[in-house]
Amino acid sequence: MKERILLHMLRFPSVYPKQNFDVPRELTQDGIASAAGISRAHVSIDLKKLEEYGFVERWQAHLNGTPAKRFVYCLTPIGAGEGRKLKANLEKKGIDTDMLLDISRCNPEGKWKCMSQADRDAVGRACVFRKPILKKDLPGMTSGTIPTDFRGYICIPERTAEAFIRLADPFSLRSWHSWAADYWLKSGNRAERLYHLNKAGRNIEANILAETMD
């Protein structure tokens, strides 16, 4: 995961150590954890190790548009060099480094072509939900990460979700909605279950549920 952190932080070359204002949220522990697809507790451990290696520097700064200060991180010159070497080695192998990071930052069509069916299903299930759910409730991905907020809830931008959904075949789309319908059965949200039952083509169940909701 330390490699993903380096690649993520490499995207912010204009941020410098001790910069006091307008540091992006993506360089807080929450932002880094979301991009790398790991918990904040895990990213805290990895960042501490990267600090010990001399790859990362930490300080307090004002985030974009916020008055309060937060701990933020950026790459040192040594860390940036390591990140560039890592990126170059991956690109030599034909690996798009953006696709190793969260799906909200990649080209959906290009990402789709590179994903296994299991990863497509993981992303597709995440994209069909209208209400936020915890990432831990979904199967993980092997070729990238699903972005979350600081609480662990999935937060895929609407345009990104719609782009992935448009790439799906009808059978896959119905199966994702079917999975979501069963999820809401366990979670007790009947309105969301009804929506996904209809989208999944499970019309008999949808009709029975609708009658009980009148």
Structure tokens at 175: 């199966």
Residue 32 CA: distances (Å) to CA of 26, 28, 37, 41: 6, 6, 8, 11
Give the separation between CA 84 and CA 137, rounded to whole angstroms.
Answer: 34
Instruction: Tokens for 139, please give them.
Output: 């199967």
Report how far residue 27's alpha carbon sits from residue 35's, in angstroms, rounded to the nearest whole number.
10
Helix (H) or strand (E) holding 91: helix 77-92
Which pLDDT band, with edges at 50, 70 and 90, does 98 fall under?
low
**Residues 67-87: pLDDT tens digits?**
889 999 999 999 999 999 998
| Mean pLDDT to the nearest integer, 118-126 | 91
Q: How far apart are CA 82 and CA 106, in angstroms?
A: 22
Domains in the chain (CATH in brackets) are: 2-99 (1.10.10.10), 107-213 (no CATH)
- What tens digit of pLDDT does each residue of 145-186 get? 677 776 778 888 888 899 999 999 999 999 999 999 999 998
pTM reported for the whole predicted model = 0.62
Q: What is the DSSP letter of 145?
A: B
pLDDT digits (tens, 9 = 90+) for 10-53: 989 999 988 999 898 889 998 888 777 677 888 899 999 999 99
